């Protein structure tokens, strides 16, 4: 940077260079020197001597090449330009001299002119910028690292203010949401990115816990993605929230396919069981339909309902181990035969206990003949030890069994079935579940698919 000439008085010129201990430069805490118009050092203050590691006597009368051989050519070119143009020039550079720690310095050079317009020389002052430079370097490094981290992660990262407005959007936004980071910023809020319905996201993590919320997002290209959204408050800076959006579409599709194939496999196995016992054809499906209706009425969420349905469908799978002659025996069973039948809940548990269902299916199967009063089998558990799903399947199983035809008797009718439930209420059967079941059947509020609530229809099967 070249500015206009600095005009000095003869007195000042004299003051700058009269002797080693009585000059303005001597008092400066930062390194300073004077070169004459031939670029020969005429003065160096103690700080400059300390910086370059040389005595004043070695500096005065020397040229830059004697002091800083590596940078001498460049320094003198700069000096000559300054002598020619006048004014002030300043530049930053790394300064390394033996015996002195490396320094990042900003050098100010001023052309000294006398009052007659003659060029006296150059005054050089060096300001130590090492601390500032190190801080800038650290900031740059931190920003670079943060940028690399943000660029490399596949999650879409947002920085939001307290109103949900987007302050920053990472590059993965494009892949997940189908819009670029700048479009995301222009879009305004995370709620807008989500197509609405995300407005309450910032209300969730007030307890500073991480929450994961799954949302379906319709992209501008029409593709739907399933997004797992995490919202975290940022400790530094009030009212800032870090939101990461992870695309779980493929994972969920895979889980759905796995779940479907698992359910299909088990259902196929159950069909095999039913084919061995034609008198109970449809029993498991009807029990499942009624169990689901009861479960919904009791407020179970849809995931739990899905598990309840599968548990009800497979509850008698252990009968695959019961001889067909016993299953289809038209007369009454002997005590020994009934003992064999009673093994089916434990057998079903053993068949399913190692299958990695997302629900406790094996326990539902084992517990569907347990009683809340401990009178059931195989373990004689009591109500508080039984899954709610198991208690629901028990009620649905009893009602379906009483009202359906059996090898040894015709169906007994829906009214009789409800009477049996009332008699077993609080004994073998959970009273709350029985109440819900009776309410469902009597009010006919809930139509149960595959289950006809009309007594006559049940009789006719
Ligand atoms: Fe059973």
Instruction: Quick: pLDDT tens for 72-117.
Output: 898 999 999 999 998 889 988 888 777 777 788 889 999 988 888 8
CA 289, CA 397: separation in Å to the nearest integer? 11
The rounded Å distance from CA 312 to ligand 1 centre is: 10
**In contact, 184 and 173? CB cutoff 8 Å:** yes
State the Rg of the chain over Cα.
44
The rounded Å distance from CA 448 to ligand 1 centre is: 21
Residue environment code for 114-152, b if the CB has 16+ CB neighbours within 10 A, otherwise e = eeeeebbbbbbbbebbeeebeeeeeeeeeeeeeeeebee
The rounded Å distance from CA 260 to ligand 1 centre is: 24
The rounded Å distance from CA 314 to ligand 1 centre is: 9
The rounded Å distance from CA 40 to ligand 1 centre is: 108
The rounded Å distance from CA 342 to ligand 1 centre is: 8
The rounded Å distance from CA 328 to ligand 1 centre is: 14
The rounded Å distance from CA 369 to ligand 1 centre is: 6
The rounded Å distance from CA 397 to ligand 1 centre is: 7
Structure tokens at 435: 């109440």
The rounded Å distance from CA 315 to ligand 1 centre is: 6
Fold match between 6-133 and 153-247? Answer: yes
The rounded Å distance from CA 400 to ligand 1 centre is: 11
Q: Where are the domains of the chain?
A: 6-133, 153-247, 252-459
Give the tens place of pLDDT for each residue, 364-381.
999 999 999 999 999 999
**Confidence at residue 134, expressed as pLDDT on a 0 to 100 scale:** 82
Tens-of-pLDDT digits for all 461 residues of the chain?
Answer: 333 344 444 444 444 444 544 567 888 888 999 999 999 999 999 889 988 888 999 999 999 998 888 888 989 999 999 999 988 899 888 887 777 777 888 899 999 888 888 898 999 999 888 888 888 888 888 888 888 887 788 888 888 887 778 888 888 888 888 888 888 877 677 777 777 655 556 665 455 454 677 888 888 888 888 988 887 777 666 678 888 888 999 998 888 888 888 778 887 777 777 777 766 667 888 899 999 999 999 999 998 999 999 999 999 989 888 888 888 787 788 999 999 999 999 999 998 888 888 899 999 999 999 999 999 999 999 999 999 999 999 999 999 888 887 666 667 778 888 999 999 999 999 999 999 999 998 887 655 544 544 433 332 22
Nearest to 52 by CA among 38, 40, 64, 36: 64
The rounded Å distance from CA 352 to ligand 1 centre is: 15
**Confidence at residue 280, expressed as pLDDT on a 0 to 100 scale:** 66
The pairing of beta strand 119-128 with beta strand 100-113: antiparallel
The rounded Å distance from CA 236 to ligand 1 centre is: 60
The rounded Å distance from CA 366 to ligand 1 centre is: 9
Q: What is the CATH number of domain 252-459?
A: 1.10.3210.10
Please give the class, per CATH, of domain 6-133. Answer: alpha beta
CATH architecture observed for domain 153-247 = 2-Layer Sandwich (3.30)
The rounded Å distance from CA 412 to ligand 1 centre is: 18
The rounded Å distance from CA 326 to ligand 1 centre is: 14
């Amino acid at each position: 940077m070249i500015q206009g000439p600095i005009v000095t008085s003869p007195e000042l010129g004299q003051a700058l260079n009269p002797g080693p201990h009585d000059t303005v430069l001597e008092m400066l805490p930062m390194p300073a020197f004077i070169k004459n118009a031939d670029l020969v050092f005429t003065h160096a203050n103690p700080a400059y001597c300390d910086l370059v590691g040389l005595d004043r006597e070695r500096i005065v009368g020397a040229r830059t090449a004697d002091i800083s051989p590596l940078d001498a050519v460049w320094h003198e070119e700069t000096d000559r330009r300054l002598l020619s143009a006048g004014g002030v020039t300043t530049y930053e550079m790394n300064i390394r001299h033996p015996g002195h720690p490396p320094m990042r310095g900003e050098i100010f050079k001023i052309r000294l002119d006398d009052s007659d317009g003659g060029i006296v020389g150059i005054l050089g002052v060096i300001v130590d910028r090492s601390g500032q430079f190190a801080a800038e370097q650290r900031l740059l490094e931190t920003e670079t690292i943060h940028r690399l981290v943000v660029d490399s992660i596949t999650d879409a990262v947002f920085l939001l203010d307290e109103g949900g407005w987007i302050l920053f959007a990472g590059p993965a936004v494009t892949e997940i949401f189908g819009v670029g980071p700048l479009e995301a910023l222009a879009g305004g809020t995370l709620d807008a990115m989500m197509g609405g319905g995300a407005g309450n996201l910032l209300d969730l993590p007030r307890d500073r816990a991480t929450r994961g919320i799954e949302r379906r997002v319709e992209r501008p290209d029409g593709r739907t993605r399933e997004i797992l959204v995490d919202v975290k408050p940022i400790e530094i800076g009030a009212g800032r929230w870090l939101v990461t959006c992870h695309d779980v579409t493929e994972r969920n599709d895979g889980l759905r396919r796995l779940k479907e194939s698992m359910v299909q496999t088990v259902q196929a196995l159950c069909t095999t069981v039913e084919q061995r016992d034609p008198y109970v054809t449809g029993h498991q499906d009807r029990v499942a339909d009624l169990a689901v209706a009861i479960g919904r009425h009791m407020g179970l969420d849809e995931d739990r309902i899905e598990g309840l349905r599968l548990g009800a469908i497979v509850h008698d799978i252990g009968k695959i181990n019961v001889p067909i002659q016993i299953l289809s025996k038209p007369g009454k069973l002997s005590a020994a035969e009934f003992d064999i039948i009673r093994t089916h809940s434990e057998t079903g548990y053993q068949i399913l206990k190692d299958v990695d269902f997302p629900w406790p299916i094996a326990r539902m199967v084992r517990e569907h003949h347990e009683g809340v009063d401990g009178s059931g089998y195989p373990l004689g558990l009591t109500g508080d030890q039984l899954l709610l799903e198991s208690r629901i399947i028990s009620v649905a199983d009893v009602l379906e069994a009483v009202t359906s035809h059996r090898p040894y008797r015709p169906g007994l009718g829906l009214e009789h079935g409800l009477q049996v439930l009332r008699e077993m209420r609080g004994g073998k059967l959970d009273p709350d579940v029985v109440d819900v079941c009776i309410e469902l059947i009597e009010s006919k509020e809930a139509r149960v698919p595959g289950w006809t609530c009309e007594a006559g229809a049940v009789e006719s099967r």
